[in-house]
A = this chain, B = another copy of it.
């Protein structure tokens, strides 16, 4: 499937993340983009991604029009710009019949949001909002457990999303991110809630399925001179009687991205934390806890199928193995024929390491045959 991208130029935070994620399952080919309003950055980004030069656009309206006109035009577009551009970009691509994958918050006003809803409904196009956390297998397992009645009627929801990166006044020159996220003209009327509070809110809705009927909010701007909130305390009341607390913060020193949700029902509880996303703690009616992980046989197959790695391999395993592939590609590209490490293992395990492994096995077998006699290994090399 052909993918385009708006935003995500060199130096951006989430552009490369979206591109890697899009590539992971071999479902999308990135073929077009308008990555930056800075022309040099825009061109350099597209070129480094092997894009044809006529599909590196300087304007996303032109891009939507041109791609819609091509027989091999993009099927979908990924929008990873600052918040204030989400609406315009999404609108133009939807109007040209192109599916949209859009970062959150979707828009900066409710009117724009409503307008997009109508556009999507009329067009029948796919619109995916990247509340990434909904993609974790254990978050979906949590949702499944609630839906299956495993914890009974929900009474309490405790959700929190603390970060600490705005504890100091980094918006004054140190962080471009911080600058636009705290600027009402780019971020909209909210900073902390728009950036991460909506993730927490969606997660509550996604797992519990419960509707929030009322909220009571206490918002603060702790950083000197800030006009948008950098911390939020919100009490929640749900349809059916459940209650909750939502805390989101960007001034909580020591936290990086620590989204956490705990849901308590009449017959059990579930707890999930982004710091250990591959685990789900499930509490039974007697208070006993168990840890659910991939490979758990009680999970339905649609949850189990979400895993790309066998049990016991943390998700980072791809990154580790990918690193060896990447390093290998670099070595080949540099035509570095002298890279065998004769004195000790080098960064990339090589044929001499293979030989050492074989000798290790042989020596261990020999020692064992002689009732664990200490047995010498030959030094590295042939």
Contact = CB atoms under 8 A, between A and B. Distances in A.
B316 A117 contact: no
A271 B253 CA distance: 11
Given A17-B309, A253-B264, A314-B275, A324 B215 contact: no
Max chain B C-beta neighbours (<10 A), residue from A323, A350, A380:
A323
Given A25-B325, A253-B265, A326-B25, A105 B193 contact: no
Interface in A328-356: 328-329, 331-333, 336-340, 344-345, 347-356
B351 A127 contact: yes
A272 interface: no
A120 interface: yes
Nearest to A357: B198
B356 A202 contact: yes
Given A235-B235, A249-B156, A253-B283, A135 B340 contact: no
Contacts of A237: 218, 374
A309 B315 CA distance: 13
A28 to B, nearest CB: 6
Contacts of A155: 220, 222, 231, 251
A65 interface: no
A226 interface: no
Interface in A196-246: 197-198, 201-202, 205-206, 209, 211-220, 222, 229, 231-235, 237, 241, 243-245
Contacts of A190: 361, 364-365
A84 interface: no
Interface stretch (A34-42, A56-64, A286-294): A286-294
B322 A135 contact: yes
A193 B360 contact: yes
A247 B249 contact: no
A220 B244 CA distance: 11
B321 A135 contact: yes
A254 B17 CA distance: 34
Contacts of A326: 24-25, 27
Contacts of A354: 102, 104-107, 113, 116-117, 127, 129
Interface string A353-382: 111111111111101100111111101101
A89 interface: no
24 contacts: A18-B321, A104-B354, A106-B357, A107-B354, A114-B382, A116-B354, A118-B382, A126-B332, A126-B339, A134-B324, A134-B349, A151-B253, A158-B247, A164-B264, A193-B365, A209-B344, A212-B377, A214-B374, A214-B377, A217-B364, A252-B264, A256-B295, A277-B316, A371-B374
Given A128-B349, A155-B222, A155-B251, 11 more contacts: A17-B318, A20-B24, A24-B319, A106-B354, A189-B365, A193-B360, A202-B353, A212-B377, A217-B363, A218-B237, A256-B295
Question: Which 4 pairs show the lowest CB-CB distances between chains A and B?
Answer: A256-B312, A106-B354, A315-B316, A257-B312
